[in-house]
Amino acid sequence: MVASNIPAGEGAPSAAAPAVAATLSAAWRRMAERTTQSWTSAPHFYLLRDVDAGRLVAWRERWQKRFKVDLTYTDLLVKLLAAALQEHPRLNSRWLDGTIVSNPEINVGLAVAVEAGLLVPVIHRADQQSVRQIADRRKDLVSRAQAGKLRAEDLIGGTFTISNLGMYGVDVFNAIINPPQAALLAVGRIADRVVAVKGRPAVRPMMTLSLSCDHRVVDGARGARFLEALADLTEEPAALLD
């Protein structure tokens, strides 16, 4: 037998404390139910695409300097996303009773984390709004979400969701689709990386987009074409954002 050098009672495991169940808010329970429903019923697949965000960064800086407006990358991506959804309406559809149903409007939900849970307020008819209108609407929705003052109409009618964790230093992540929607865009941070530009190494501000798709509605080729369209708009945004 090997003698122990640890004094009696020191370092030894103490009696286990009784487990304490966390008190869950109604919003957290609803989030848990919806994500479980989505994960267990929708066959997910994911497509990832690195994009050069240099022109997006420059456009945002120029806009903020000129108009003194609080503008986020999420605002810009909502505008670009809405344009891509116009070109690829299958991504703006849903699965319903064994059929694919096209949504008549493009209503982009914003994943917002609050203390009570995850909320997804909606920018309705995002394709018909200017960047400034989108920014004003996003600011209003997020502030009221954090204050617990969202209205029921703020949370209904979403046809596609965007989740941006770039502000938390996340490079890339895959997200669970927000049912009954068919797709969700997860956005990582913009960070300098060494990439090949015309055959030579260069440092560029890069961003990774991850597209979550419901395979009952969207196949790989359709998802890839949509993501390509969004990447092209992100790398050359002037036509839509000027």
d(CA 121, CA 29): 17
Tokens of 179: 């049912």
Residues that are catalytic:
215
Closest of 168, 160, 184 to residue 106, by C-alpha: 160
Contact 126, 81 (CB under 8 A): yes
Instruction: Work out the angle at residue 155's Cα, subtended by the Cα atoms of residues 48 and 217, and round it to the nearest 5 degrees.
Output: 40
Contact 204, 23 (CB under 8 A): no
d(CA 167, CA 173): 13
Contact 110, 139 (CB under 8 A): no
